[in-house]
Amino acid sequence: MSTFFKSLIFSNVFVAFCAASLCLSSQLLFGQYNFHITAFIFFATLFTYNFQRLARTNKHISHPRISWIAQNRSILFLTAFISALISSYYFIFFNVNTQGAIIFCALISLLYPFILRRIPYLKIFFISLIWMISTCLLIALEQELIFDKEVFLHSLARFFFVFAITIPFDIRDVKFDNKRLKTIPGLLGIKKSHMIGILSLVIAQISYLYLFISYNLNVIYLVAISISIIITGLLVIKSNEKKGEMYFSFGVESTSVIFYIILVISSQMV
């Protein structure tokens, strides 16, 4: 892995970019745009992930990410500090409902590396919930959209999309995770984990299909989303513990960016 990609991925800049991409996808689908929400999601994700890496890095495990963190802790501290300041600035100007949702996510995120991560089998649900709220619900709250069935279905689809792309990371970490940390691959094995990931994507696809049938989701967007889900499904199916770090941290993670890019391209045809 090149030095540039190591820095981009291990400093969590790329995952923050992925979160911002999903947030922009929701804005495009809702027809509601808010730069402050997007910027907040980017910097809040950057802070949260760097905070968690610094808080729970196991120095006794041989892993390229851990080696990089050990050599660049000062950079991560500085990045986390600056990100926290910028996130706090944007937070001040959001409405009360948006701030409440952010505080809820912040509590879970800050407790995650110390307590919540140890709760058997719930790790993936916490991650999916936080990403669903931050990349989908926040824009709805800030723009004061009515929380109706349409918003619910978009949120449901986002939850299961994130659930699906989180499974490969649990597969990657099987050989590193403490045996007491129960995960889906650790319980059911890799093949059944693949099936659960695909089932999650099917639920997301059905949610978008229902939005097309009942809530006028444009057919061009439906096709774009379907293409994204197929690409994501292929990456989930091909994931195993033998794949390199680049496959997961860049390949699987980039499905969020792919989702947005294909939506943007399709929007030119609407």
Amino acid at 149: K
Q: Residue 58: what pLDDT?
A: 58
> Given this model, what pLDDT does residue 247 score?
93
Q: What is the pLDDT of residues 171-201, one digit of tens each?
A: 988 776 655 667 888 888 999 999 999 999 9
CA distances (Å), origin 38, targets 26, 42, 83, 89: 10, 6, 13, 13
pLDDT digits (tens, 9 = 90+) for 52-101: 888 876 555 666 778 888 888 899 999 999 999 999 999 999 999 999 99
How much is the pLDDT for 57?
62
Mind listing the pLDDT tens digit for each residue in 56-65?
A: 765 556 667 7
HEC profile of 37-80: HHHHHHHHHHHHHHHHHHHHCCCCCCCHHHHHHHHCHHHHHHHH
Instruction: Tell me which residues of the chain have a pLDDT lower than 50.
Output: none
pLDDT of residue 224: 97
Residue 81 vs residues 12, 50, 104, 150: alpha-carbon distances, Å:
14, 10, 20, 37
Global pTM reads 0.93
Q: Residue 244: what pLDDT? A: 86
